[in-house]
Amino acid sequence: MIRLEGLTRRFNGRTAVDGLTFRVREGEIFGLLGPNGAGKTTTVRMLCCLIRPSEGRAFVGGYEVGREAMKIREIVGLLPESPGLYGELSAYRNLDFYARLYGVPKQRREENIERFLKMMDLWDRRNDPVGSFSKGMQQKIAIARSMVHDPKVLFLDEPTAALAPDSAKVVRDFILELKHEKRTIFICTHNLYEAERICDRVAIINTKLITLGSPSQLQREFGSGKTEVQIKNLGSRILHAVKKVKGVLKVEVSGNKLLIQSKDPETVNPRVVEAIVKNGGKILYVTRGAHGLEEAYLKLVGKNEV
């Protein structure tokens, strides 16, 4: 659905995006991760035909960026970094204006606006000027705006950055619902927890592409594979048994928790659990030790720092 071939952008001699090459499949939720200034926004802007690539090519929905810009603009929706709503106009008018620019027929326009405003829990405030809304409410309106024309491809630049946890959840659920409608969603985010939860695949970039894969794949490859087990009656017998499990590399104890490092948690962990239970341990929780994707991310980005 989206294809980048050596996509590059320079600003006054400095390279912001360097030779990105990857594909995003139809119906996929794709996350673009990277530190501040990594070129995420620049990449999205190029894909939406807002700025020209310096080099390389890209295709969105089969249309080439630059040459078939108008076709691309018709099928994509964009949530930019800042919402950029018209503060003097009502929420409804803001969405209506955009729906008209996209040429959405009247009935569809009204249905969509109502649906999205209700979904974002802002239907009651539809006639209030957007300028009077909180930052998070504005963000929700802007997300609704990116959707009013039923785009096939949706670019969301940090969709939940300004949102309270409950609103962020609304937005995440909304994104997952859109996935069921077979839309392709491209998300820039700093929120690794979110990326892990909703993205099918993520790319980590820092000007250049560092790595790409599904969140669990990246965790397996680049995470340290630590697992935390909390046990009600942790004793030396249990500790001893865990240390002897095949594949366990290292065990740390803190309070009634064990932090277990292993090469391949998905095969080792069931054995660890078995060993604990066999030795009379009452397991309270088994969780990922360090935050999986975050660990992989920090490791990769740190290593590639220039």
Partner 1 sequence: MRFDRVWEIAKKDMASVRRHRYVLYGLVVMPLIFAIVVPMITILPFLSAEVAGDNLPPFAPPGFSVKQATILAMVSLLSLIFMFIPAFVPSVIASYTFVGEKINKQLEPLLATPTTDSELLLGKALGAFLPAVGVTFASFTGMVILVDLLTLPIFGYPVLPDLLSLVILFVYCPLIAILSVSVSVFISSKVNDVRAATQLSGVSVLPVLGFYFLFLGGLLKLDWVELALFAALLVLIDAGLFYLSKMTFQREEILTKWK
Q: List residues near ligand ATP by CB under 6 A.
A: 11, 16, 34, 36-42
CA–CA separation, 26 vs 146, rounded Å? 18
The set of residues, in sequence order, having a beta carbon less than 8 Å from that of 12 and lying 6+ positions away, is none
Stretch that binds partner 1, among 17-25, 26-34, 73-81, 228-236 (CB under 8 A): 73-81
Closest CA relative to residue 304, chosen from 234, 175, 210, 164: 210
Q: How many CA atoms lie less than 13 Å away from 242 in the CB half-sphere? A: 31
Instruction: Identify residues 79-118 at the interface with partner 1 (CB under 8 A).
Output: 80-89, 93, 97-98, 100-103
39 interacts with, out of Mg ion, partner 1, ligand ATP, none, CB within 5 to 8 A per kind: ligand ATP
Backbone angles phi, psi at 129, to 5 degrees: -65, 135
Backbone angles phi, psi at 230, to 5 degrees: -105, 125
Closest CA relative to residue 16, chosen from 7, 29, 5, 25: 7
Whether 3 contacts 62, CB under 8 Å? no
> 51 vs 290, which CB is nearer to partner 1?
51
Instruction: Identify residues 137-176 at the interface with partner 1 (CB under 8 A).
Output: 142, 145-146
> Minimum distance between the CB of residue 135 and Mg ion, rounded to whole angstroms?
17
**x/- letters, 22..61, toward partner 1 (CB under 8 A):** -----------------------x--xxxxx---------
Q: How many residues bind Mg ion (CB under 5 A)?
A: 2
Neighbours of 93 (CB within 10 A): 16
> 38 vs 202, which CB is nearer to partner 1?
38
86 interacts with, out of Mg ion, partner 1, ligand ATP, none, CB within 5 to 8 A per kind: partner 1
Q: Name which position in 8, 41, 43, 94 contacts Mg ion (CB under 5 A).
A: 41
Whether 116 contacts 160, CB under 8 Å? no
Amino acid identity, position 73: R
48 interacts with, out of ligand ATP, Mg ion, partner 1, none, CB within 5 to 8 A per kind: partner 1
CA angle at residue 263 from 259 to 268, to 5 degrees? 70
> 115 vs 190, which CB is nearer to Mg ion?
190
> Minimum distance between the CB of residue 141 and Mg ion, rounded to whole angstroms?
20
Residues that bind Mg ion (CB under 5 A): 40-41
